[in-house]
């Protein structure tokens, strides 16, 4: 567990921090920057902190901040016998799982629990799911129907994230896939945890603008979708190809293919790790709730790519239930948890005809260079066809 700099220094509020900063001769803004962003303070500031708090050592500070560098690691390794005799952590209970409670909603393929994901994951056996997809709250102070606190301190958010990520790793089967959707800034921390246990397949950039331009920064234009696998290679990997990207209005080329047009595979363009064809759900015809909801084509791609019929899919953060609806339509088994209201999810299951149709359209357009619709507009406007 990481600790906040301020709590290590017994600074209970900003006023305490201001007085402390003045005493050691640094600006409170700078001190708060290190505290709020979980960043290890600059060497000069560390010296001032340690000069003032004579009973604190740099080793203690680093360990409590969760800043285990290679120097500390090697110290811990050299003294591991003594340390383990002092710590002697209680042996972890393995395979003794609590029984799963009664699901609030179920279908022949899936079960949905209105509960904290950690509570349900605790009852799931080791290595029991083939795919985990997680779209956690981004800690952006958004209001969710569930009322979850989306404005935690960075330390608390990271500590909580580590818990559900570690549990996800435990319940994932060998060869199973784990996808985590988040802002790139959070996923740098997620990757740090995952790299210790799983194998990175791809950092996928999903090209969607998610924020307004920020002065003195680049315009944030992609979500990060981490794709990891347990073990050397995935049990299921169903490669797919996409139609050529063309202008939505005139059907013309977006890229110049020069002399390569005839060399393009007629089955389409290989899917890359930059996805440009995922649009946010905004239109009310497709939207099921006021807070954010992922589009069907994102989940269709992830589930089709990494599982086969009958596989088990788990999504800890249900939201409007997109993962469960797509799993059901694609005949995958599924388990879901949502801490907030689940009536929106249940309602979606009352009419699967419309999403089934959309998924059919998504699948029909794959693995060909030009769909029938594209052929029509390109023929009309005189563009080349393979």
Ligand X SMILES: C[S@@+](CC[C@H](N)C(=O)[O-])C[C@H]1O[C@@H](n2cnc3c(N)ncnc32)[C@H](O)[C@@H]1O
Q: Which is nearer to ligand X, 294 or 359 (CB)?
A: 294
**Token pair recorded at residue 324:** 């469960």
CB of 5 to ligand X, least distance (A): 26
The yes or no reply on residue 320 touching ligand X (CB under 6 A) is yes
Q: Which is nearer to ligand X, 117 or 329 (CB)?
A: 117
Given CA atoms 137, 132, 94, 84 in this order, what sign does their dihedral have? negative
List, in order, residues 6 or more apart from 45 with CB less than 8 Å away: 24, 26, 30, 31, 34
The yes or no reply on residue 144 touching ligand X (CB under 6 A) is yes
The window from 169-177, 218-226, 252-260, 337-345 that contacts ligand X (CB under 6 A) reads 337-345
CB of 335 to ligand X, least distance (A): 12
Which residue is associated with the tokens 């994951």? 121
Q: Tell me which residue has its CB nearest to ligand X.
A: 319
Which residue is associated with the tokens 């569930």? 146
β-strand 269-270 against 274-275: which pairing, if any? unpaired
Q: In the Cβ-directed half-sphere of 286, how many Cα atoms lie within 13 Å?
A: 17
List, in order, residues 6 or more apart from 175 with CB less than 8 Å away: 130, 229, 230, 231, 233, 234, 235, 236
The yes or no reply on residue 161 touching ligand X (CB under 6 A) is no
The yes or no reply on residue 122 touching ligand X (CB under 6 A) is no
The yes or no reply on residue 292 touching ligand X (CB under 6 A) is yes
The yes or no reply on residue 116 touching ligand X (CB under 6 A) is yes
The yes or no reply on residue 137 touching ligand X (CB under 6 A) is yes
The yes or no reply on residue 146 touching ligand X (CB under 6 A) is yes
Please state, in angstroms and rounded to a whole number, the distance separating the CA atoms of residues 298 and 279. 9
Of the residues 155, 177, 235, 322, which one makes contact with ligand X according to CB under 6 A: 322
The yes or no reply on residue 135 touching ligand X (CB under 6 A) is yes
Letter string b/e over residues 84-94, b meaning 16 or more CB atoms within 10 A of that residue's CB:
eeeeeeeeeee
Q: Which is nearer to ligand X, 268 or 336 (CB)?
A: 336
The yes or no reply on residue 294 touching ligand X (CB under 6 A) is yes
Which residues in the 54-93 window bind ligand X by CB under 6 A? Answer: none
List, in order, residues 6 or more apart from 255 with CB less than 8 Å away: 245
CB of 101 to ligand X, least distance (A): 14
Among the listed residues 49, 35, 60, 287, the one whose alpha carbon sits nearest the alpha carbon of residue 154: 35
The window from 143-151, 195-203, 224-232, 365-373 that contacts ligand X (CB under 6 A) reads 143-151
Contacts to ligand X by CB under 6 A:
116-117, 135, 137, 144, 146, 148, 292-294, 316-317, 319-320, 322, 337-340
């Amino acid at each position: 567990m990481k600790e906040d700099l301020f709590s290590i220094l017994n600074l209970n509020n900003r006023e305490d921090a201001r007085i402390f900063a003045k005493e050691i001769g640094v600006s409170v803004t700078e001190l708060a920057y290190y505290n709020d962003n979980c960043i290890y303070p600059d060497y000069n500031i560390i010296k001032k902190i340690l000069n003032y708090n004579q009973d604190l050592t740099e080793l203690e500070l680093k360990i409590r901040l969760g800043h285990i560098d290679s120097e500390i690691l090697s110290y811990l390794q050299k003294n591991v016998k003594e340390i383990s005799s002092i710590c002697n952590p209680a042996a972890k209970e393995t395979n003794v799982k609590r029984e799963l409670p009664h699901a609030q909603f179920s279908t022949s393929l899936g079960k949905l629990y209105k509960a904290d994901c950690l509570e349900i994951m605790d009852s799931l056996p080791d290595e029991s799911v083939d795919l985990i997809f997680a779209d956690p709250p981004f800690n952006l102070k958004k209001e969710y129907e569930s009322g979850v606190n989306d404005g935690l301190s960075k330390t608390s958010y990271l500590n909580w994230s580590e818990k559900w990520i570690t549990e996800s790793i435990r319940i994932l089967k060998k060869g199973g896939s784990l996808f985590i959707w988040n802002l790139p800034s959070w996923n740098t921390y997620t990757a740090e945890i995952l790299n210790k246990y799983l194998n990175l397949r791809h950092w996928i950039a999903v090209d969607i603008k998610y924020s307004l331009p920020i002065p003195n920064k680049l315009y944030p234009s992609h979500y990060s979708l981490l794709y990891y696998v347990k073990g050397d290679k995935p049990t299921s990997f169903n490669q797919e190809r996409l139609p050529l990207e063309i202008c939505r209005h005139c059907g013309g080329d977006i890229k110049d293919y020069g002399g390569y047009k005839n060399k393009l595979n007629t089955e389409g363009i290989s899917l890359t790790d930059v996805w440009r064809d995922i649009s946010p759900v905004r239109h009310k015809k497709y939207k099921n709730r006021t807070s954010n909801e992922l589009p069907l084509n994102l989940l269709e791609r992830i589930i089709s790519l990494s599982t086969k019929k009958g596989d088990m899919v788990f999504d800890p953060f249900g939201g409007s239930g997109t993962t469960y609806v797509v799993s059901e339509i694609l005949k995958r088994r599924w388990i879901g948890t949502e801490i907030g209201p689940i009536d929106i999810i249940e309602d979606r299951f009352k009419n699967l005809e419309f999403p089934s149709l959309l998924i059919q359209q998504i699948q029909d357009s794959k693995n060909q260079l030009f769909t029938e619709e594209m052929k029509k507009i390109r023929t009309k406007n005189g563009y080349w066809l393979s």
